[in-house]
Structure 1
Amino acid sequence: MKKVILLTGEAGAGKSSAVKHLEDLGFYCIDNVPPSLVPEIMNLIEQSPEVEKAALVVDVRNPEFRKRAKELFTSLKERYPNVEIWYFTADNSILINRFKETRRPHPFEKYYEGESIEKLIELEKKLYGELKEYFDKVIDTSNLNYHDLKKLIKKLLQTGKPQLKINFLSFGFKYGIPQSADNVFDVRFLPNPHFIPELKPKTGMDREVEEFVMKHEESKRIFQIILEFVKTTIPLYENEGKAYITYAVGCTGGQHRSVVFAEALSKRVAEEFPQFEIFVEHREQGIRRKVSPER
């Protein structure tokens, strides 16, 4: 049975890089296909004995897409049920930075002249949001570089879904909220070791600080609430096709309370979800490491 993938998604989300990786893996790839030509190309692929794997890119660069995407995806699903539709996305801030780096115009500029890049990205995301029922895989490239994307595509082709990577990130609010965070938890209201002279120079990775933070009932309650939220959302993110999730915990300076929580959450999640890769990162200390389940 032939393997055919239709790639779609936001401008700047990595489709061009994905095409290069698929070509390296033996796929016959066609970029920027007009929706009206997709059925004809599918027929040619079906009839050609030389093409076993193919990937077509269909997106908003073609003016037809905005009006015909739903019709196209519906007919593809009905006529070719084995065709997979991969949707590429990234966080708004990441897309904005990518456009600034490349200095390329956003394809929606020709439809909405004079709008800001932020508005154009929002409009494009809204369009794709109306099509999400057709997507077989959602590939979020916010935290993926070129080589990470190649590994992910290989894994998708082998297993059908990416192996989820989960990052627990501690940070200090006074230095800004991390852009990579999918969820942000504020623990600034908990008792602060900063005001204990012997604890001030230490961090949440020191046992004395951990014991101080977690001995308070309010800390225990908040930890359980956050842990339950994390445990509930991980399977939902996996079902959405997320490759990478970041749960960020912030306190004032990112030295004590947030570090304690990030450490504790990463350990508990590593024990309960051993099938995933778990990382803990302390932004203000410049530390990141993989967390293994404790035996």
Structure 2
Amino acid sequence: MENKLQINVRSFSYKKGIPADTSGNGGGYVFDCRGILNPGRIQEYKTKTGRDQEVKAYLESETKIQEFLNAAFAMVDISIQDYLDRGFSNLDINFGCTGGQHRSVYSADAMAQHIAEKFPAAKVEVQHVEQEAKNWINEVY
């Protein structure tokens, strides 16, 4: 029986550190979303996340998030195809931003969707480290 490539896609807060690779392989990708305009600086988005429609619309219309993600997709696609061809078992892909709430959440969800559509032979799991730790309850800061 052939093992599926397990791809772990995570969002995280740089304030809490880059998530550890639990596969024991070390490595993977870490993308820094802090170069994208931060919706968290806008009062009406402070308690929302990258899954809320208003935040998504802001990221898609007011930032270069799609350019950023297209570049990430291009790099990751090369590795995924190679890992599938060579029978590798794990790949970690992490997206970090200041609070792990807006840009990284949006990016991790977009990457997971991209992978699921393009590489059905891979198994994709998404973890939103900061949001899950807070039970998705965000306070105004």
Q: TM-score range by the shorter chain?
A: 0.7 to 0.9
> Could you say which residue in structure 1 is the equivalent of 2:12?
171
In the TM superposition, what is the alpha-carbon distance from 1:240 to its structure 2 partner?
4.1
1:214-225 map, 5 Å: 214-216=60-62, 218-225=64-71
> Could you say which residue in structure 1 is the equivalent of 2:106?
260
1:209 matches 2:50: no
CA distance in 2, matches of 1:201, 1:163: 37
In the TM superposition, what is the alpha-carbon distance from 1:216 to its structure 2 partner?
3.3
> Could you say which residue in structure 1 is the equivalent of 2:97?
251
CA distance in 2, matches of 1:207, 1:242: 36
Structure 2: gaps (5+ residues): 22-26, 134-141
> Could you say which residue in structure 2 is the equivalent of 1:277?
123
CA distance in 1, matches of 2:113, 2:88: 21
- Alignment RMSD (CA, Å): 1.6
Consecutive aligned runs of 4 or more in structure 1 exceeding 4 Å deviation: none
Structure of larger gyration radius: 1
CA distance in 1, matches of 2:63, 2:56: 14
Kept after mapping to 1: 8 A contact 2:36/2:63 = no
Residues 226-276 of structure 1 deviation map (CA, whole Å, 9 limit, x = unaligned): 011111110122344321211000001100000000011111110111122
> Could you say which residue in structure 2 is the equivalent of 1:238?
84
CA distance in 2, matches of 1:214, 1:281: 22
> Could you say which residue in structure 2 is the equivalent of 1:56?
none
1:189 matches 2:35: yes
What TM-score results when the alignment is normalised by the length of structure 2?
0.84
Structure 1: gaps (5+ residues): 1-157, 288-295
Say which is worse superposed, 257-266 or 207-216, in terms of deviation: 207-216
AA partner of residue 187 (structure 1) = C
AA partner of residue 245 (structure 1) = L
Residues 149-169 of structure 1 deviation map (CA, whole Å, 9 limit, x = unaligned): xxxxxxxxx33xx21111210
Q: Relative to structure 1, is the Cα distance of residues 272 and 219 closer, same or farther in structure 2, using a 3 angstrom cutoff? A: same
1:78-93 map, 5 Å: none
1:1-295 map, 5 Å: 158-159=1-2, 162-180=3-21, 182-216=28-62, 218-286=64-132
AA partner of residue 278 (structure 1) = V
Kept after mapping to 1: 8 A contact 2:37/2:63 = no
In the TM superposition, what is the alpha-carbon distance from 1:217 to its structure 2 partner?
5.1
What TM-score results when the alignment is normalised by the length of structure 1?
0.41
SS in 1 for 2:125: strand
CA distance in 2, matches of 1:273, 1:259: 21
